[in-house]
Amino acid sequence: MQALKVLGVSSLPLRNLELRGAFDLKWLSSQLIPISRGLEALTLYKSLPLPEISSLKALHLRGFRLSPDQLAKILPSCTGSLKAFTYEATDVTSLHIDELYNWQVQASDVVRHLEKHCTSLESLHLDLRIRAFMSRDTKIDPMPHLDTFTVLQELFLNSDAVYNTQSLEFPDDKSLTNFLPPSITSLTLVEPDFPPPPERLQKGLSGLANLRREQGRFPRLKRVTCDVKKIFDESHTKDLLSQVGIGLEYKEFPRSDWAYNRERLVASPFITSLSIDDEDLPTAWL
């Protein structure tokens, strides 16, 4: 901030700020954020220490591996009331999902750290798709209940945040509805590299339709969007939801590292030698 003071700059009218590129972003954030008192939306492409930002309404984290510890250091800077939170795990690769248990946030981590904003958060976008060489998801924590998020309307999740090896003990028709908040209006589910069987999600959507019909649950839900093609092979699931006023739409969500015609990754000696206990993880992962 001293550098800007020398130039006579004591405040900036910034409402949206995106920090990325080859600059010293830590220095840049320390200069710009404190004098941007009306800052409402911040986008980061790496984990940075942040000053307190009481005015912030939307925080977007993209393009880097975010650990639970990093998230725990970033979110306390948001001292006001967040309305939107986004995390996209672009360009993250691992042998399998379990490999990153201590190094990559799960949906449960994010929900826990956002609890402070449960009465203000309206949009939660968690794109945790990573490129993986093999299927192994035994360490995905259960999706927490979102009942306390009283104004949450839009939710974007990986399907394996709900349907994974750990959740096999729960009925598939209840796993989806078990955590959704009453305020939900739009639900989006995307497949990971090694997705759960589509039949599990079909049962979940059928359970959602039944709860709406029999108990009037989720009265504001208007749309479910997913990229699971198998669900659209026949119209049964779509018809069930339509009968209770919920639209079901197919849509793809490509990213720079995520094409829908992508090929499977082939394991290399370097990747297969990694384990969760490795201290020499690639710098890009840290």
d(CA 196, CA 199): 8
Q: Is pLDDT of 145 > 80?
A: yes
Domain assignment present for 11: no
Higher-confidence residue: 21 or 263? 263
In sequence order, what DSSP letters do the residues of the chain get, joined into one string?
A: -HHHHHTT------SEEEE-SSS-HHHHHHHHGGG-TT--EEEESS-------TT--EEEEESS---HHHHHHHGGG--S---EEEEE-TT-EESSGGGGTTTS--HHHHHHHTGGGTTT--EEEEE---EESS---TTPPPPPP-TT-TT--EEEEEGGGTSSGGGGGS-HHHHTTTT--TT--EEEEE--SSPPPHHHHHHHHHHHHHHHHHH--STT--EEEE--GGGGSSSHHHHHHHHTT-EEEE----BTTB-TTPPPP---HHHHT--TT-S---GGG-
Whether residue 217 contacts residue 186, with contact meaning beta carbons closer than 8 Å, is answered with no
d(CA 18, CA 105): 22
d(CA 208, CA 78): 34
> Of 19-23, 85-89, 261-265, which gets the smallest average pLDDT?
19-23
Domain assignment present for 284: no
pLDDT of residue 3: 59
Domain assignment present for 271: yes
Domain assignment present for 155: yes
Tell me the pLDDT band of 267, cut-offs 50, 70 and 90: low
103-129 confidence digits (pLDDT tens): 999 999 999 999 999 999 999 999 999
239: buried, middle or exposed (CB in 10 Å: 19+, 13-18, 0-12)? exposed
Whether residue 58 contacts residue 41, with contact meaning beta carbons closer than 8 Å, is answered with yes
206-250 confidence digits (pLDDT tens): 999 999 999 999 999 999 999 999 999 999 999 999 999 999 999
In the block, residue with structure tokens 């912030």 = 56
pLDDT of residue 76: 96
Domain assignment present for 27: no
d(CA 48, CA 21): 13
Tell me the pLDDT band of 4, cut-offs 50, 70 and 90: low
Domain assignment present for 83: yes
Higher-confidence residue: 282 or 46? 46
The pair of structure tokens assigned to 120 is 């203000």
User: 43 forms bridges with which residues in the sheet?
Assistant: 18, 60
What's the whole-number mean pLDDT along residues 87-92?
Answer: 92
> Of 67-71, 83-87, 135-139, 195-199, which gets the smallest average pLDDT?
135-139
CATH number at residue 160: 3.80.10
Q: Is pLDDT of 93 > 50?
A: yes
Task: Give the range of the structural domain holding residue 268, as residue numbers without chain letter.
Answer: 16-21+38-276
What's the whole-number mean pLDDT along residues 39-52?
Answer: 95
Of 125, 158, 115, residue with least CA distance to 140: 158
User: 17 forms bridges with which residues in the sheet?
Assistant: 42
148-195 confidence digits (pLDDT tens): 999 999 999 999 999 988 777 789 999 999 999 999 999 999 999 999
In the block, residue with structure tokens 């710098």 = 283
Domain assignment present for 281: no
Domain assignment present for 196: yes
Q: Is pLDDT of 285 > 50?
A: no
Q: What is the gyration radius of the CA atoms in the chain, in angstroms?
A: 20
> Which percentage of the chain shows pLDDT scores above 70?
90
pLDDT of residue 137: 86
pLDDT of residue 22: 65
Burial 4-30 (b: 16+ CB within 10 A, else e): eeeeeeeebebeebebeeeeebeeebb
Q: What is the mean pLDDT of the chain?
A: 89
pLDDT of residue 281: 43
d(CA 276, CA 285): 12
pLDDT of residue 284: 40
What's the total number of domains in the chain?
A: 1
